[in-house]
Amino acid sequence: MYFLGIDVGGTNIASGIVTADHKLLFKTSRKTHVPCSDEEMRDQFAAAAMETLKKAGLSLHDIPYIGIGCPGTVNRKTGIIEFANNLHLNNFPLQKLLENKLGKKVILENDANAAAHGEFKAGALRGAKIAIAITLGTGIGSGIIIDGKIFSGSNFAGGEMGHTVIVANGRQCTCGRRGCWEAYASASGLALSTREAMAKHPSSKLWEIAGSLDKVDGQTAFRAMREGDAIAKGVVNDFIFYLACGIANCINIFQPDILCIGGGISNEGDTLMIPLKKLVSHEIYSINSSKQTVICRAQLGNDAGIFGAALLGE
């Protein structure tokens, strides 16, 4: 048996075929075109699905359903994307529109939840009773698994750990609140901290690494730190401090068996994970417990969303 999963982003729509033994057989990617009409958006999903099936030598008859992970508030019960700001969607009835067009069952889920589900089924969270996946990207994506099921709250908007406040009246977050975790500990938050440090320290090696303020990304500070820049080291230390604060909050609330961290910044490996784990160990309420949460890197990388979407009906 084969499963089709679609992972939707504001920039790209990634689609892949996952086998019954949880192997990624084939994947494709196409640009996301927004804003557009509901019908045009539906057709983008349909085209992504059909292209992937065709290139894999399969048809709609070879899959039981189409699984889709999408940003925003996704009502899995109604099949409606209630709100997704990056895709310009409001109460978009994707499930109904796509099922009518392709004649195939469609299952929807929030993209971060789908990524967590993917790690639970085929990656770092396998075997956990309670698990959390944190993805450090433009924002902070978080997915929570409890007793094998995705936790999404009473209204399908639960689990947004990136929008818990860690600095009262702090930085403005895109959600409208101030001081959100993702405003400090996402790749975007780290890039902003880097630019702020560059503006204050024109002689920092950060300028040499980035070239200009508009070319700063989540790796700039780590690269400059490895070349001995003290300012960059301060930026990275602050970033890890904020990241640890949010991770400790996640652990104090849910006490998961495993918490995995994904996204491009997780590729920093021990440079990130060793000091992060040390800070978290001093911040958690369960410091003296015989059972501690395992903190590790995610295993599926950018394919977690495809895996999770494909296996939503499993």
Q: Quick one: which of 53, 99, 54 has its CA closest to 80?
A: 99
93 with 80: CB under 8 angstroms?
yes
Rounded mean pLDDT of the chain? 96
* pLDDT 10s digits, 108-147: 999 999 999 999 999 999 999 999 999 999 899 999 999 9
Predicted confidence band of residue 288 (pLDDT cuts 50, 70, 90) = confident
Residue range 173-200: average pLDDT? 96
Long-range pairs for 33-39: beta carbons < 8 A, 24 or more residues apart: 34/10, 34/86, 34/87, 34/88, 35/88, 36/88, 38/92, 38/93, 38/97, 39/97
Fold matches, 2-118+304-310 and 127-298: yes
pLDDT category of residue 245 using cuts at 50, 70 and 90? very high
Show the beta-strand stretches assigned E in the chain.
Answer: 2-8, 12-19, 24-31, 66-70, 73-75, 80-84, 89-92, 106-110, 130-136, 140-146, 149-150, 258-262, 294-297
Q: Where are the domains of the chain?
A: 2-118+304-310, 127-298
The answer as to CATH 3.30.420.40 being correct for domain 2-118+304-310 is: yes
pTM of the model: 0.93
* CATH number assigned to the domain covering 127-298: 3.30.420.40
Please list, residue by residue across 42-73, b when 16 or more beta carbons sit within 10 angstroms of its beta carbon and e when fewer do.
bbbbbebbeebbeebebeeeebebbbbbbbbb
Residue 85 pLDDT > 90: no
User: Above 90 in pLDDT, residue 66?
Assistant: yes
In this prediction, residue 10 has a pLDDT band, given cuts at 50, 70 and 90, of confident
Q: What is the pLDDT of residues 260-286, one digit of tens each?
A: 999 999 999 999 999 999 999 999 998
Closest CA to 125 of 306, 308, 314: 308
Residue 96: pLDDT over 90: yes
